[in-house]
Each structure stands twice: as C-alpha cells, then as structure tokens.
Amino acid sequence: MKTRLLPLLLCIPGAALADSLLPADLGLGVTVRQSPFVGGDTSTGVAPATPDRDGFDISGLSVDFGQSETQRFYAGVGLDEWDHKRGDSPQLSDMRKLDRAINLRLGSAWKLPSGVLNAEIGKDVTAHKGTQAKVRYTFNSLSDKLVVRPYVEGQWLSSDLTDYYVGVDATEAKVGRPAYQANDSLAMKAGVKLEKPLTGKWTLVGSVDATHYDTAISDSPIVAKDTVWGGKIGLAYQWR
C-alpha cells in the first residue's frame, strides 16, 4: 500500500504536502463504539483528534489538489467504520476472519452560509474491494465560546462491503444462523462535534454520533442492532 502511494506523494510539491499531511494540531483521543453484531462488545480504541481549523470538516489523512476560500477537492486514505473483529463476539468466533479495510478516498467540500457540504467516495483496496459514498452536511457552530457543530450524513454501501461484514456463507450457516447475502445498503448518521479551547495551545476535542442501518444490514442473522452509538474525546496540541 505504501509503495503504491509513494509515486503519488512524490508528485505533490513539498510545501503543499507538508501543509496537508502535517496539521497545525497534533492530538489523540479515546473512542467508544457499540457493536451491531450478535454478542459483540462495545469497543474502545484510540484515534487522531484535531480541531477543524479551516472549517471544511474533512476527516482522516488527506491531500488537497484544488482549493479556494469556499471550496476544496482532496484525496486521501481511511479505514472502514466497521469493526473487522465483529465486536469479539463469542457467538461469531467460528466464522471466517475479516481483514481491515483501507479505502482510497476522493472528495470535495463546499462552504455554504449555514455550514459545510461534503461529498466523498471511497474504494477499499485490501479487504472486500467494496465502494462507499457519503454526503454530509455540517452546520456552523451553535456557540461562540464552545464549538458545537451538529451534522447529518447519508451513506451508500455497496453489496461487496455489506456482504463482507454481515453476510453468512453456506459453510458458516448453522441452527439459528442461516445463510445470508447482503445487498447494497443505505445508512443515516447524525452527530455533534465539539471543540473547547483550553489554556495555551491545548484544545479539548470530542464528538458523539449515531448510525442507523437499513434492512439490508439489520436483517442479517449476525446483526443485533440497527442503530449504533459512538463517541470520542481527546486533547490536541497546536505545535505550529
């Protein structure tokens, strides 16, 4: 994967690459997310946590290749939101093991009077080879002292992606777990992003969200929840 990305990165001017890949803030946060799987545990982990300084609401590692004060085009890489360990469910431990998906992403963002509109498409290159598209609208902050930015997001998930995570092969079927093949799916996500400047160069960063999946996912015999909650809290340091 690194070998494939190296020629692309070498073609980007050094200054632009540094500005895109080395944000002004470096931070780390603790994440919590419910598992939709039968018997799955709520997972915790760590993830980057940085304030949205430019206001374009672009998440993950990305490089700009066209921008203005109100519009930005970018390419990047990112992970699936899905837990490839199925929440460490003991009931599903006999199923095939899943690999972590890494997506190549292309997207754009537009600043509008009341917020920011983002549109993005991602293609996995390591696991299921599926495609996903997302359209998100993030509202301007509801407060001046504390950044509070609600957002809504619509997702389209290809059948390759959904069947990889929630499908059941004939060889995996048993009593109470029939074979299942998932089709394309739609999901809706809503959440709030929070930022609170602290003393000096430190910023408290947090978020909470909920994602609701349609019947292509929730009808799977290995899925117990059609809506899952998640959140993150962390600290970021402005180093430049």
pLDDT in tens, 119-141: 999 999 999 999 999 999 999 99
Q: Which CATH entry fits the domain spanning 24-238: 3.30.70.100, 3.40.50.300, 2.40.160.40, 3.30.460.10?
A: 2.40.160.40
Query: Nearest 5°: phi and psi at 97?
Result: -80, 145
pLDDT of 32 above 60: yes
DSSP per-residue letters across 117-160: EEEEEEEESSSS--EEEEEEEEEPPS-SSSEEEEEEEEEEE-HH
For residues 75 and 81, the answer to whether their CB atoms sit within 8 Å is no
- Ramachandran region of residue 86, left (φ > 0), alpha (ψ -120 to 50) or beta? left
Which one, of 44, 30, 45, 59, lies nearest residue 153 by Cα? 59
On the question of pLDDT at 8 being above 80, the answer is no
Instruction: Work out the pLDDT band at 10, boundaries 50, 70, 90.
Output: very low
Give the phi and the psi of residue 28 in degrees, each rounded to 5. -140, 140
Q: What's the whole-number mean pLDDT along residues 104-116?
A: 97
pLDDT at 126: 96
Question: pLDDT digits over 145-203, tens only?
Answer: 899 999 999 999 999 999 999 999 999 999 999 999 999 999 999 999 999 999 878 99
Segments making up each domain of the chain, as ranges? 24-238
9-26: average pLDDT = 56
- pTM for the structure as a whole: 0.86
| Residues 18-46, mean pLDDT to the nearest whole number | 85
Per-residue pLDDT at 5 exceeds 70: no
What pLDDT is attached to residue 19? 52
CA distance 200 to 133: 38
Mean pLDDT of all residues belonging to the chain: 90
